[in-house]
A and B are shown apart, each in its own frame.
Chain A
Amino acid sequence: EAQVTQNPRYLITVTGKKLTVTCSQNMNHEYMSWYRQDPGLGLRQIYYSMNVEVTDKGDVPEGYKVSRKEKRNFPLILESPSPNQTSLYFCASSLRPRGLYEQYFGPGTRLTVT
């Protein structure tokens, strides 16, 4: 089954404790991205990747890191989480970056930073 998976689905952590949210897709997609969803703000892009070893900042990159060492994986790293990073996070992928190609979303990761 073609899908985007994220782990964990739920995470409660404390300020400053490094964490990684994994994202994996099995569709051989080139383009992957991370979004965060906050009430009243919709979804905003954090980082994106055009292909292996090619990543760039989205609209709200502060406090996040990403890597793309393999085509299928695009982990999101929070080196020192803070309460303002409490949010719902989505990973998405598409065959190519253009809007012509549908973006497939993962199931979301609910992160709480206390």
Chain B
Amino acid sequence: AQTVTQSQPEMSVQEAETVTLSCTYDTSESDYYLFWYKQPPSRQMILVIRQEAYKQQNATENRFSVNFQKAAKSFSLKISDSQLGDAAMYFCAYSGSNFGNEKLTFGTGTRLTIIP
């Protein structure tokens, strides 16, 4: 079974600075998808960024980018120019390609605090 590990329960960053959230995963599949979800105090789950394992290029969405290291099974999220609205719980998630592995497997989350 796939597992996703987020080893940083809490992180904090000064406003306008850059922060990196870590995520590692374990899988025997060669084709899969990785995600970062944001959960603000409203509890809504918001997709931040997605990476397809067969693509070597790291995904980028405005101030959010990932460092995808397939061999190391590492998938970190970098937030540049941090803003107060970035304060939230961030979840790393995995979805496989094989039948029966399509579900999202989540990590335990990292709570990000933005210091004004």
Contact = CB atoms under 8 A, between A and B. Distances in A.
A103 B91 CA distance: 14
Q: Is the interface of B mostly helix, strand, loop or mixed?
A: strand
Interface residues on B, range: 20 to 34
Interface string B18-54: 0000000000000011010000001111010010100
Contacts, number: 57
A45 interface: yes
Contact of B102 (A40, A42, A98): A98
Interface residues of A, number: 24
Contacts of A44: 106
B95 A98 contact: yes
Contacts of A42: 4, 91, 106-109
Nearest to A100: B33
Interface in B62-111: 91, 93, 95-97, 102-109
